[in-house]
Structure 1
Amino acid sequence: MSPSPALSAIARAPLDLHNRSLPWQIGAVILGTMFLALSSYIEVPMVPVPVTMQTFAVALIGALYGWRLGGVTISAWLIEGALGLPVLAGGAAGAQHFVGPTGGYLFAFPIAGMIVGWLAERGWSGKRVGLAFLGMLISNLVCLGLGAAWLAVLIGVEQAIMAGVVPFLLGAVLKSALGAMVLKLIAGRMTRSGA
């Protein structure tokens, strides 16, 4: 029994990759991990956690790919980093980053990407830019919240909030707005091309 047309139209990420062949999906994962790695090199060094474009890329991959393939892609990128490929913030690599100050943020990325992907599949995408912004913002806040929770174990709650959340709030809003605009542009292009 196939899902109803109404349900199929709702539960669909903007790129609709889950309906593509396995080679397409593998290609999407490879391109997605490359995009995530490139976003890691756009960095403003800060202590204990740098500002990067990773949360922008995580939310965008989740929204475009959907929750399943988005989660797989983000997890594959993290595995690459853990195995020693220079794909983390500033070209960092190695498993030690998953237990240091950035560990909570890294583990939050697949969760945040899957949340925004799930929302995008339900219409929180470029066709509804306000909801796309909210989905992106929720993704960023999940990263900050889970990252700060781990950081609090290492340096205490107050310091974790002041060093691991507050400096990143404006960036979260700006990256969410940028992500929503990118989704709107992609949705407009897909509408014009008849996809």
Structure 2
Amino acid sequence: MTLSPSPFRPVLARLADHSAAWAGAILVVGVALLAWSAQLSIPIQPVPITLQSYVLITLAALMGWRLGGLTVAVYLAAGLMGLPVFSGGRSGLEMLTGTSGGFIVGFLVTTLLVGWLQENWAQLRPLPLFGVLALGHLVLMVMGAAWIATKMGPGFAFERGFLPFLPGAVVKTVAALATIIAAERFSGAPRSR
């Protein structure tokens, strides 16, 4: 993996560079999208399947690791302080100790990873970007399942906290790739080879 000497600036990071007002607006919209997508769920146990991972990796690649990381940190802080932004309108510090705790911590790790790799390596090239997005989903799912394993055992975690998320992760990764490329092209970003 060769890193570029000059990082790629994703479209929302470029827009946020224009002013603090743009940066604030992008952050607020990002937090709102994360909260909204958490409510679109298939209620399975022990953790619901939501649209949130699609929004998470898409925003990470469109914002970069700094703005994306800040957006996710604000979202997590809002939920942990009691705002009903997690799936099912849940909130509070107990979310970290519940079955969703690994996924919640994984949101920040995944955002930083995807944002950094997009800026410094993938740089909108479709195949590397697909790999970065898939890796982001994998990291999120492994962190979530690993936490469930500490509570319910590894077999249960694999069967109920990892496998059910695989088909959706594939679909959401492809959808995220298409969304990111479309947004960057619409913004006038040059085509990558």
TM-score, normalised with respect to structure 1: 0.89
Select the residue among 157, 160, 164 that pairs with 1:163.
Answer: 160
Figure out how many residues of one structure are paired with residues of the other and give that number.
186
Q: Does 1:175 align with 2:172?
A: yes
SS at 1:15 equivalent: helix
Q: Does 1:20 align with 2:18?
A: yes
Distance 1:16 1:43 in 2: 29
Q: Tell me which residue corresponds to 1:138.
A: 135
Distance 1:82 1:15 in 2: 26
Q: Does the 8 A contact of 1:134 with 1:176 survive in 2?
A: no
Distance 2:189 2:19 in 1: 24
SS at 1:121 equivalent: helix
Q: CA RMSD in A?
A: 1.8
Distance 1:192 1:66 in 2: 15
Range that drifts further, 169-178 or 128-137: 128-137
For 1:6-31, what per-residue CA distance to the aligned partner results, in whole angstroms no more than 9, with x for missing partners?
844x3422323463333322221111
Q: Tell me which residue corresponds to 1:61.
A: 59
Q: Tell me which residue corresponds to 1:100.
A: 98
Gaps in structure 2 of 5+ consecutive residues: none
Q: Tell me which residue corresponds to 2:78.
A: 80
| Identical columns (%) | 33
Q: Tell me which residue corresponds to 2:183.
A: 186
Shift of the 192–21 alpha-carbon distance from structure 1 to 2, 3 Å rule, reads closer
TM-score, normalised with respect to structure 2: 0.89
Q: Does the 8 A contact of 2:130 with 2:177 survive in 1?
A: yes
Q: Does the 8 A contact of 1:129 with 1:181 survive in 2?
A: no
Q: Does the 8 A contact of 2:17 with 2:23 survive in 1?
A: no
